[in-house]
Each structure stands twice: as C-alpha cells, then as structure tokens.
Structure 1
Amino acid sequence: MTTPSSLEPLDLLRGAGYRVTHEVGRGMEGVVAALDGDRVVKVWDRRSRAEVDRLRAFYDAVHEGLQEAGAGLLVPRILDVDEVDGLVVTVHPLVPGRADPAAGPEPVVEVLARLSEVEPRPDMATLPVPDGEQPFDPAVPFGVSMGDLVRRRAVLLGGLLAPGVADALAGALRAVPPVPPRLVHGDLGPVHVLLDGGRPVGLLDFGYVSTLGDPAFDAAVAACLQDMFGPGAAAATAALDDLAVRRLGHDPAVLVLYRAAYGLVTASCLAGHPGRHLDWCLALVTTWAGAV
C-alpha cells in the first residue's frame, strides 16, 4: 500500500503516535497492526471518513444485537476513528480466537444459527449492498431487493451471461416467500469465523453484502465459500447445504438460487478482472440456470 506520505503503514502510524508492534494482516482495504494486547489499529487505503463512520454504527448495532441475543460472538467494533496524512485510521478491540478453514461446516452452521436469532436494529441496514449501490430496505422482502439488484448488476456483465438468464434469476428471487429479516453477514467464509477450542467466538469482515435479510442467503453463500477452488469444493458445499436444510430448515432450491444471485453480483464487481474468481462466480449462476 502506498500512502500519500510514501511511508509504510507501520511507520505512518508510529509517526502519528501509535505504538504499534507488528503487522497483523494486510488485505484489499488496508493494513492491520497490533497496538497492544487488547487492541489493533487499521490504516484504510480507500475508505472515506463517512464510510468508516457508517461502518462504525453498523458494527455497534451488530455488537449490541449479538449481546442481546446471547450469541457469544465478538466483532471488531470501531472504538476510535482518526485521520493521518489523508488516510482513515481506526482502533478496534482484538477479537479472540483463530480461523481454522479445516474445521468443517459445523462451526459455520452454528454461527448461522446464532445470527438468525439476532433481532433487527436500524443501523444493521445502513451499508450499501454492495459498494456503489444503496442499502437494502428491510421493509422490502429480501428476495425482491436481491432481484432488483441482480437486474441492475447484470448490465455490467455484458455478454458474460446467456440471454435471459439475469431476468429469469431476478424473477425467481422476487418469488421467494418473504421471511422476517435477520442479520446477514453476506460473505461468511471459514476465514471469517474465529474459533477457540473448536467453538466460534468471533466474526470478521462484515461489509460486502451485510444487511438485514433472509438467513438462507447467508447459508447459501457460506456453503460455497467453504472451499472455492479445491478438489473437494462440491462436497464441501453439499455438506454445509445438508446441515442448513436439516438443522436450519432452509429450502435446498432457495440455497442454489441465492448462490446464483451472490455469484452474479460478485461477478459484476470483477467484470474487469478476468480469472478464476470471476469464472467461479459465473459458474454459480450457470449451476442454477441448468437446474431450472
């Protein structure tokens, strides 16, 4: 990441008085460094102050909802917001636990169950779905909002979709029976679930399609993110789907439908970046289209 001051992120933080010790992680949106035993600090490389303030309100609402539901899950709330050399800097509590992608579907399904028990709060529906779009209105059925989003985003894919597929997908989404809205992570891969002793204790990286909506969407996406590119990908998806149907009561056809919607929307964000991630997203759409 190149900052306006041409300093590396840790040097930038130290120059601003943050006593960081080492880098914890580096991703698409910035760099996270350890501040002390209980906190971390993040330098954002593309988020504005207004966007981060909105994310702060969202995380506060999620934290309060999880606590009220007795879910036993912590999230990286934003404790403080600063600006250093034109970049937004945030301080967060250190969320305990470690991700274990080899843990299988059980911890993820446990998280899905806990999220479905969180009562809605207005600030849980303040984030764009996804960036560049408007937040979903929780008063509108989730399938209707997702169908409208699919129609808008399909335009960005040009000839990458077969004729009529986007309209058919949007129509199927709009026909999904409405359910009471609940907290949706929207991108719940195994790397986002932190475990302690095999039990989920923390959740990371809300924000891509995080909103109030249908818990089945979260289950559908979580299943395909268990193993995106490995030889066991199909089996991993099927295993989580099976648990989502048996334990959470989701309709298997709706899971495939919601995965197609996630695939189309994510593909629309990657349309200018051909490669296996884009191909994987489009395959989610064609899997649904081939099943109807």
Structure 2
Amino acid sequence: MDQRAIALLRQHGWNPGDILGAGMEGTVIELSRDEVAKIWHGRNPADLQPLLRFGSALEQSPIPFRCSRVIAIVEDDDLTVTIEQKVPGRSLRPDALPNAPLVAHEEIRLMGDALAGLSQATAGDLSVLPILPMEKPFSHSSRFGVSLAHLTERRFAGRPELLRQEIGEIDALVTELLSRLRDLPETDSKCLIHGDLIPANVLIEDGEVTGLIDFGFLTTVGDPQFDAAIAASSFDMYGPNARQSEQALSAVFSARFGHNPEIYNLYRAAYAVITNAYFAIDSQDGHFLWCVEMLKREDIRNSIAEPLDT
C-alpha cells in the first residue's frame, strides 16, 4: 500500500482500511461504510476535475439507485487521490467468470433494471467526461451517431494494423460502418450511457439493483440502445454460452425498451473498432480477438451492408 497516500488521507481526516481492488488506473482503499479512496497512477488533479462535475450531476439525477461518484480530490505533488461514494451490494456476476453459465431470467431482469435506471438521467453535465482517455467529451451539438462515427474513425486511423492483419476488407467495412452511423436519426430518449455495463459493475442486494460502479469508459449522454447493445454482448464475452446469452439479453432489451436490433449491431461494430486495440499489445490479446470475431459475424455484416429502414 502506498504509504504517501496513507499519510495524505490521514492528514485530511480519513482512516484508510483494506485494499478493495487494484487495476491499471489505480488502487481502491476502504475509508468507511460510505466512502472509498482511489489512488491514481499517473493522473493529475486537472485530469480528474471532470469527475467532480460528473459526480455532482449524478447526485442530482433521479436514478433510483446509488452510483459510484467522486466527491473530493486530494493531492500532494505527483500523488492524486479521489474520495468516492461507496455503493452497497455485491456484483451481479464476478468479472471474467470461467465457464460462465447461460444468463438467467433474473439476471436479464436486473440488467434491464440497471438500463431503466440510467434512462432516468438526462442532465447535460453527465456528458462532461472524456469519452476515452486522451479523447474529448462528446459534443452536445452533434447527433450521437455522428459523434460515435468520429470516434470510430479516429480510433481506427490511430492503429489500423492489427485489424488489417485479420480482416482483409476492414477499410471498406469501416467506411460503410461510418456512413451507417452518420445516417442514424437522433433519438428522442437520450440519457446517461454507462459504457461499460458488465455484470461486475451492477451491484445487487435482495433481488434488486442497489447501484452501479466504474463509470468513465465510454460514459456520456446519448442513445440508450448503445448501452443495451454493449451490455448484452459484454455480459459474457468468452464463455461457452456467450452468444446465447447475448441473444437472450438482446431479445428482452429490445422488447422491453422498443429498441432496434439492427442498430444494436451497428453499435456493436463501432464498439469493436473503437476498442479493438485499447488493451492489445499484439494480435493474441483476448479482447482484440473478440472484436475481430464481432466484425466477422454475418449478422453484424448484414446490418452494416443494408441501410436502416427509418
């Protein structure tokens, strides 16, 4: 545990407890029943200021459950620590569960409830976060599909070589995808998009959603169909029942919320292009290979090839 961070937290009146988790971005430490601290790796306070604005907007939103949010930032030279609201409950499923079973009816309901709760939040300040590190927030003045197309185009241009090795016609496919995204009509139901709504980030207790955690990766205000599509596909990415779980979740989401399955496929293709090289060191990375398979799927290709009937 970072002793400088411990001293800094004690200086500000907190009594640090156990390490709750650690990852690429930083280390999370328990402070109290209501607060945790995140010790960031290589981030300065200016980078994290949007998290305060986002947290304030979250606090004022009508979401019917608690969401993790930054409530204070403390610093000491190159050391930055955020104080965040602790969210009660346990994860719907652990992250990267080996040999994950087919999604259960109760899990489908709870994932849908999480999406329904997010749909209540529409405030503009909820789009203040950079859509990805080193990227700007999505513009209020642009349609969601146009903003997503710009991001897809930039991320592909930044590192196209891995996809080109695996998919010979990838440049033509991306060009067609960009055209479809730009042609999407603006939705009348723009709301908060979590962006990384995996079951590990959905907390439950006594059969109800108690909160959501880990906002910041593709978090913005936009088309709720994006969150639904990616949530269905990322519920189980690598297990033997992954595709069946995606289909079951998609069918219920589209029926419950009146979504368009063809738009789901366009958003899945965009997500695959945007994130394929985000974690990858080489072409053997698991997430990269998942993105490649997504872009090779017949249903995804068909949705890109055929203009939507709007």
1:283 aligns to 2:293 (yes or no): yes
Change (3 A) 1:270 1:78: closer
Rounded to whole Å, the distance in 2 between the matches of 1:28 and 1:154 is 23
Please, which of 136, 141, 144 is the counterpart of residue 142 of structure 1?
Answer: 144
1:264 aligns to 2:267 (yes or no): no
Q: Which amino acid aligns with 1:84?
A: D
Q: Equivalences for 1:241-256 in 2 at 5 Å? A: 241-256=250-265
Q: Deviations over 1:139-180 (max 9, x none)?
A: 211011111211121112324142311111111111112113
Q: Equivalences for 1:86-97 in 2 at 5 Å? A: 86-97=78-89
Shift of 1:104: 2.2
Shift of 1:260: 0.9
* SS of residue in 1 equivalent to 2:69: coil
Where does the alignment leave 5 or more consecutive residues of structure 2 unmatched?
94-102, 165-169, 306-310
Rounded to whole Å, the distance in 1 between the matches of 2:51 and 2:131 is 13
Equivalenced residue count is: 279
Name the structure 1 match of 2:68: 76
Rounded to whole Å, the distance in 2 between the matches of 1:60 and 1:117 is 16
Shift of 1:46: 2.6
Please, which of 90, 97, 107 is the counterpart of residue 98 of structure 1?
Answer: 90
* SS of residue in 1 equivalent to 2:66: coil
* SS of residue in 2 equivalent to 1:41: strand
Shift of 1:85: 5.1
Shift of 1:276: 1.1
1:183 aligns to 2:183 (yes or no): no
Contact kept in structure 1, 2:55 and 2:71, CA below 8 Å: no
Q: Which moved more, 1:226-235 or 1:136-145?
A: 136-145
Shift of 1:94: 1.7
Name the structure 1 match of 2:17: 21
Q: Deviations over 1:235-265 (max 9, x none)?
A: 1111110111110111001101101111111
* SS of residue in 1 equivalent to 2:80: strand
Shift of 1:52: 1.3
Name the structure 2 match of 1:5: none
Name the structure 1 match of 2:182: 174
1:60 aligns to 2:35 (yes or no): no
Q: Which amino acid aligns with 1:174?
A: R
Contact kept in structure 2, 1:40 and 1:94, CA below 8 Å: yes
Name the structure 1 match of 2:217: 208
Contact kept in structure 2, 1:95 and 1:202, CA below 8 Å: yes
Name the structure 2 match of 1:112: 115
TM-score by length of 2: 0.85
Name the structure 2 match of 1:239: 248
Q: Which amino acid aligns with 1:173?
A: L
Q: Which amino acid aligns with 1:22?
A: D
Q: Once superposed, which parts of structure 1, at least 4 consecutive aligned residues long, lie more than 4 Å away? A: none
Contact kept in structure 1, 2:5 and 2:79, CA below 8 Å: no
Rounded to whole Å, the distance in 2 between the matches of 1:280 and 1:155 is 20
Q: Which amino acid aligns with 1:115?
A: L
Change (3 A) 1:23 1:234: same
1:44 aligns to 2:40 (yes or no): yes
Please, which of 123, 126, 136 is the counterpart of residue 125 of structure 2?
Answer: 123
Contact kept in structure 2, 1:157 and 1:271, CA below 8 Å: no
Rounded to whole Å, the distance in 2 between the matches of 1:22 and 1:84 is 21
Contact kept in structure 2, 1:157 and 1:267, CA below 8 Å: no
Name the structure 2 match of 1:194: 203
TM-score by length of 1: 0.90
* SS of residue in 2 equivalent to 1:270: coil
- Identity rate of aligned residues, in percent? 34
Contact kept in structure 1, 2:68 and 2:215, CA below 8 Å: no
Rounded to whole Å, the distance in 2 between the matches of 1:99 and 1:239 is 20
Contact kept in structure 2, 1:147 and 1:170, CA below 8 Å: yes
Q: Which amino acid aligns with 1:63?
A: E
Contact kept in structure 2, 1:138 and 1:213, CA below 8 Å: no
Rounded to whole Å, the distance in 2 between the matches of 1:247 and 1:46 is 42
Shift of 1:131: 1.6
Rounded to whole Å, the distance in 2 between the matches of 1:93 and 1:131 is 22
Rounded to whole Å, the distance in 2 between the matches of 1:283 and 1:290 is 14
Rounded to whole Å, the distance in 1 between the matches of 2:76 and 2:178 is 43
Contact kept in structure 2, 1:105 and 1:226, CA below 8 Å: no
Rounded to whole Å, the distance in 2 between the matches of 1:13 and 1:153 is 34
